Amino acid sequence: MKKNFSICAFNVENLFLPPYSNEESYVLYKYEKSKDKVERLAKAIKDIDSDIVFLCEVGGEDSLKNLVEEYLDGEYLYSLIPGNSERGIELAYLIKNDTDYTFKHFTHKRRPLNFNYPHEEKENYYQMSMGKKRVFPSHLPSRDIAELRIFKGDSDKPFLILLGVHLKSQLDKEGIDFGGRLRRTAEFKQLVETYNVLNKRYHNKVPILLLGDFNGKACREETDPEFKNLYESTDLEDVLEVINEPKEARVSIHIFDKQGKDQGHQLDYIFLPKMLHHKIDPKLSGLYSYKNEDGVPFPRPTSLYERYQLPSDHFPIVCTIKDFPN
């Protein structure tokens, strides 16, 4: 019997969900997501019904555990490795607990980016020219690359690898990196390098997907400069491109300016290699629309107020692969 394998990437926007197991968490996680929004997040996850859900902005393992046990009826296994986020918004995976597959979750949070800001490079160069040591070490990823390897049977070779990210945001509080572009460029370069290393290790036989919140335009058209090496050095393509989704249907977050004009665009992606393109089910792939109690999709928000009513400011993106693994 042929089967589908579904993957979802979902930025759940500040999923801080007490009670927490230690006092430090109450200090770090000052924001708490409302019960109503958590219930609607859980409803969306259940409705999507993916085999694997990659989550961004999870407020630690306690929040993830509470989500699964209290709102998802314990139907998922879960894995979270704390990354480098300064405000505790972590990357995590949900895996259907009735699956026959096994999983290994790896972190890349301690891998240097080989990146410094220009003023740091200048100071390092000056110190080294004086025969002294570098003052500024390389930065680490702002969050992590959450790597999930998925196995079937007793095979030691995965049949699928996911590299989940939440790349550097466009905030620049210190005024040293307009739009966060320099740091995001370094993080994305490391992500593509990781992809290429794994591809070489498994001789281009294991599909590897890049997914999550890229915090920029990584689509094929109007690509931000930091993402252009994706199309120059890999055969990866976003699932929305593969299924020929209309451009107006690719907005994964609505951003309203001071005049109330919608500046929304696609920040969330699932990139997959060419070997899987022909297996994608277009009817079961794309951006998911939140639904009301009768199962009818809500219209897209037309104001900041309407966006605040949604369970997350992002829309989940789904990729369904037919007859996989075979």
* pLDDT tens digits for range 215-256: 999 999 889 999 999 999 999 999 999 999 999 999 999 999
Q: Is residue 2 pLDDT above 70, yes or no?
A: no
In a domain, 126, yes or no: no
pLDDT for position 1: 44
pLDDT for position 264: 87
* Distance, CA of 50 to CA of 209 (rounded, Å): 15
In a domain, 136, yes or no: no
Output the average pLDDT for the chain: 94
In a domain, 223, yes or no: yes
Q: What is the mean pLDDT of residues 182-194?
A: 97
In a domain, 120, yes or no: no
Which tops the pLDDT comparison, 9 or 86?
9
In a domain, 197, yes or no: yes
Give the contacts of 234 (CB within 8 A, at least 6 positions apart).
192, 195, 196, 273
CATH number for 157: 3.60.10.10
> Of all residues in the chain, what percent carry a pLDDT higher than 70?
99
Side-by-side strand order, sheet with 52-58? 76-80, 90-96, 52-58, 4-15, 317-322, 286-287
Residue 226's alpha-carbon distances to 190, 222, 274, in angstroms, are 12, 12, 22
Q: What is the mean pLDDT of residues 148-153?
A: 94
Q: For the whole model, what pTM was predicted?
A: 0.96
Quickly count: other Cβ atoms within 10 Å of residue 24's Cβ. 11
- For residue 123 the two structure tokens come to 């100071």
* pLDDT tens digits for range 18-45: 999 988 887 777 789 999 999 999 999 9
In a domain, 25, yes or no: yes
Concatenated DSSP letters of 196-214: HHHHHHTTT-S-EEEEEE-
* pLDDT tens digits for range 48-103: 999 999 999 999 999 999 999 999 999 999 999 999 998 899 999 999 998 889 99
Cβ(62)–Cβ(21) below 8 Å: yes
The answer, yes or no, to whether the previous bond of 282 is cis (omega within 30 of 0) is no
User: What are the helix (H) ranges across 33-180?
Assistant: 35-48, 60-66, 118-129
Which tops the pLDDT comparison, 282 or 86?
282
Domain housing 238: 4-102+147-322
> Of all residues in the chain, what percent carry a pLDDT higher than 90?
87
Confidence of residue 172 (pLDDT cuts 50, 70, 90): confident
Give the contacts of 10 (CB within 8 A, at least 6 positions apart).
44, 45, 53, 54, 55, 56, 312, 314, 316, 317
The total of structural domains in the chain comes to 1
Q: Dihedral sign, CA of 112, 55, 80, 309?
A: positive
Give the contacts of 37 (CB within 8 A, at least 6 positions apart).
311, 312
In a domain, 266, yes or no: yes
Q: Is residue 154 pLDDT above 90, yes or no?
A: no
- For residue 294 the two structure tokens come to 């009768």
Quickly count: other Cβ atoms within 10 Å of residue 159's Cβ. 18
pLDDT for position 23: 82
Cβ(114)–Cβ(185) below 8 Å: no
Confidence of residue 309 (pLDDT cuts 50, 70, 90): very high
Which tops the pLDDT comparison, 53 or 257?
53
